[in-house]
Amino acid sequence: MFIVSNIIMLIGVSLNSIFIIFTLFFERKSPSRRLTWLLLLFFLPYVGMILYILFSGHFFTRTRSMTKITKELSQIYLPLLKEEKKILKESSSKLPNNQIKKYNKIITMNMKNANSFLSFTETVAIFTFGEHMYDALCNDIENATESIFMEFFIWRNDKTGKRILDLLCKKAQQGVKVKLIFDDLGSFFTPRNFFTPLKKAGGEVLPFFNLKRGVAFSVNFRNHRKISIIDGKIVYTGGMNIGDEYANCSSKRKWKNVTVRDTHIRITGSSVLALQTVFLIDWFSITERKNIKKDIKNISKYFPIDTFERYSKIISTDNEKKLIHELLTETQIPTQIVTSGPDNIQKAEIRDMLIRMILSAKKSVRIQTPYFTPDDTFLSVLKIAANSGINVEIIVPGKWDKWYVREAAFDFIRECLDSDIKFFAYDGFIHSKMCIVDGHVVTIGTTNIDTRSFDLHFEVNAVFYDQIIAKQCDDIFDEDKKNATALCSEDFNKHFILRRALWGFCRLFSPLM
């Protein structure tokens, strides 16, 4: 028995040493993240190894299904992307839209880094509270005639969740094609039988990375996207999940008397194509049907016919002036849909987009985020912008939903205040993910300012190169500032030294939060 235990201990020590060596010499993430893992492996060797396997990001394998469906769907937009790259490179001076000229570099980077083609949005409605967004969404669901595709990180078994699920059941019974994705970790406490009525009504429901079937290696890679697509013509996306707290009607003690402020958008136009593509990649990558044909003809049925005709017409023309006129028009809102996820651990597409936006700033950068534990690069860019005279303003919650994230964020905020970055604590829980630069370009989506969103979650953001939309978002930001308290260094320095020590300790583990 003694010999066996010694052998087991020796194996454990050897494995732990291998993990430490790998982290020291082969880990490609930031030094701060490597330090976090080294501390865990050194002080909690056996626990650290398990956590490293589950949460480090090196044990994720992109599914064959995701690779195949991405390749098939890319046939829709890659010819368009190729033509757009050519125009932006060779004919930028001829572009009729000044915003596209001005932000040519950001657009080009998103094309190259994230395969994000330039699309156009006809209408944008911005919702700042869940109760208003849910009413609009339910109205569009009621009027759906062909298809309803939805995916959410959290879908609660509560009044709001039941309201929308009941509507989906009704539409499925009417013959509308209904597909629903929920994240298996985000919706962990929602029982599976909650979705049974929709399945019985003819709808389809799939969990993203099914944890309850023991896919432990995927526990850290969650689908944080929130997308609703109605008839392939209307899209909702942004920060709001499905739950009473987002509608400010929660009966849970945690959310009573706490205002939840979020940002969600409803858009129409050719940008719907990009978001529909995102949904279908997610759907087909997790489908349990083994023999589905993932050819382009099968996929194309999920898109409006006129969308395909319009793009094929634009792509096939040899008249460059006509192409520029039709594609890069002044009458609609230039938009890019940018996604990121752990399927490519060498890229952080949305983080890089945000950094490039900040670097383009001449006057102001305004950010809203529910969590603020940025990586070293993002933090440095914010400081450089503020030290260059750019007015950098960030709104964070006054009431946080996770105490340990708050403690880690406080250490980052205190450091940023010393670099003249302005912070405001919203009177409630602000869950909005928005960044506005110079009142000209704005991104709204699902991405928080933290390492988890940047590297480990599947996220999606919409970028609008439009002054009118940016002005609306600036007005929303100003209104939120009225309901927020400006923070200063003294607010943090007056805290007891042990509290400040806790901030520093929690910050060490911020890459894992």
> CA 382, 388, 389 angle in degrees (round to 5)?
100
- Of 301, 327, 353, the domain-final residue: 327
Same domain, 46 and 79: no
In a domain, 373, yes or no: no
Same domain, 45 and 72: no
Report the run of H or E that residue 34 belongs to, with start and end.
helix 31-43
In a domain, 205, yes or no: yes
In a domain, 250, yes or no: yes
Same domain, 213 and 294: yes
- Of 327, 352, 380, the domain-final residue: 327
Same domain, 86 and 227: yes
Six-digit token string for 308: 């395909």
Six-digit token string for 127: 């919702």
Separation of alpha carbons 277 and 221, rounded Å:
20
Beta bridge partners of 156: none
Same domain, 143 and 37: no
Active site residues: 224, 226, 231, 431, 433, 438
Same domain, 196 and 307: yes
Same domain, 12 and 113: no
Q: What is the pTM of this model?
A: 0.86
In a domain, 461, yes or no: no
In a domain, 285, yes or no: yes
In a domain, 245, yes or no: yes
Same domain, 74 and 199: yes
In a domain, 312, yes or no: yes
In a domain, 20, yes or no: yes
Half-sphere exposure of 455 (CA within 13 A, CB side): 23
Supply the DSSP symbol for 378: H
Same domain, 187 and 314: yes
Q: DSSP characters for 250-302?
A: --SGGGTT--EE--EEEEEETHHHHHHHHHHHHHHHH---TT----HHHHHTT
Same domain, 44 and 68: no
Range of the domain at 45: 2-55
Give first-to-last CA distance, the chain, whole Å. Answer: 40
Mention every residue, 6+ apart, whose C-beta is less than 8 A from residue 384: none
Count of structural domains within the chain: 2
Same domain, 11 and 129: no
Same domain, 253 and 309: yes
Tens digit of each residue's pLDDT, the chain (513 residues): 556 565 666 666 666 666 666 665 656 566 666 667 677 766 667 666 666 666 665 555 556 666 777 777 777 777 778 878 887 777 666 676 788 888 999 999 999 999 998 888 999 999 999 999 999 999 999 999 999 999 999 999 999 999 999 999 999 999 999 999 999 888 888 998 999 999 999 999 999 877 655 555 556 678 999 999 999 999 999 999 999 999 998 878 778 788 999 999 999 988 898 898 899 888 888 774 444 555 555 666 665 544 555 555 544 555 444 545 555 555 689 999 999 987 766 678 999 999 999 999 999 999 999 999 999 899 999 999 999 999 999 999 999 988 888 988 998 999 999 999 999 999 999 999 999 999 999 999 999 999 889 988 899 999 999 999 999 999 999 999 999 999 998 888 777 778 877 787 778 767 666
Six-digit token string for 192: 């599976």
Separation of alpha carbons 415 and 394, rounded Å:
13
Residue 213 sits in a domain of what CATH number? 3.30.870.10
pLDDT of residue 289: 46
